[in-house]
Amino acid sequence: MSTVLVVEDEFDVQQIVADVLRDEGHQVFVCGTGREALQHLSEFRPDVVLMDVMLPIFSGLQVLDVMRKTPGLDAIPVILMSETEPRHVQARWQFFLKKPFRLEHLLDAITRVMGPVSLT
């Protein structure tokens, strides 16, 4: 079982993504702002971060920037979610999901970044 931090401000997207990941057998933590995300990351290290770009207060890119500069957080894989693909920083995340995305795209991104989940 992997731990996933979902950082998403849109409540419905946050809940649906979290439910799908739980169905897949992952342990899921959620938060809605960039500031909360940094707080979570200072307390525990998830196996993967699924992060929106446009977040209240600090953007997903700002959080990613902090992660990449912080030993221990710099290696955590990040799946970015956004309506538009951020430019100039492609090398800093592992996968990009263009919103609005479908369920199979989300599952494909998780599988690619974390590998298939064993339910046994």
Partner 1 sequence: MSNAETRGAGDTEAHEGRVTSGIPRLDFILQGGLKQGGTYALMGPPGSGKTILANQFCFNHIARDDGRCVYMTLLIESHGKMLRHLEQLSFFRMESVPEKVYYISGYQKVRDEGFAGLLELIRATLRERRATIFVIDGMESAEQFASSRQAYGEFIHSLQALMSLLGCTTLLLSNVRERTHVEHTLVDGVLELSDQLIGPRAVRELTVHKFRGSNYLRGRHEVEISSAGIVVHPRTEVQFAHPVSSGQEMRHRMAFGLPRLDEMLGGGLPSGSTTALLGAPGTGKTLLGLSFLVEGARRGEKGMYFGFYEPPPRLIEKAEAVGLPLGRYVREGGITLVWQPPLEHFMDALAEQLLEPLRLEGSKGLRRLFVDGAEGFRAAAVYQERMPRFLSALTNQLRSLDVTTVMTDELELFQPQLNLPTAELANVVESVVLLRYVEMRSQIRRLLSIMKMRESRYDTSLREFRISQDGIDVADSFRSAESILSGMSRMRDDARDPDDTERGGASAARSKKARAAKKTTKKKDARPKPTRGSGGSRRGPRGSRGDGGGP
What does the binding site for partner 1 look like in residue numbers (CB under 8 A)? 9-14, 32-33, 35, 53-59, 82-84, 86, 99-101
Closest distance between partner 1 and the C-beta of residue 63, in Å?
A: 12
Least Å from the CB of residue 52 to partner 1: 9
Strand partners, 51: 7, 80
Select 55 or 113, whichever has its Cβ closest to partner 1: 55
Minimum distance of partner 1 from residue 118's CB (angstroms): 32
Q: Which is nearer to partner 1, 45 or 105 (CB)?
A: 105
Are the C-beta atoms of residues 55 and 34 closer than 8 Å to each other?
Answer: yes
Query: Least Å distance between CB 80 and partner 1?
Result: 11
**DSSP, residue by residue, 2-71:** -EEEEE-SSHHHHHHHHHHHHHTT-EEEEESSHHHHHHHHHH---SEEEEESS-SSS-HHHHHHHHHHST
Q: Is there a contact between 49 and 76 (Cβ–Cβ < 8 Å)?
A: yes
Q: Based on CB atoms, which residue is closest to partner 1, 100 or 116?
A: 100
Task: Give the nearer residue to partner 1 in terms of CB position, either 25 or 85.
Answer: 85
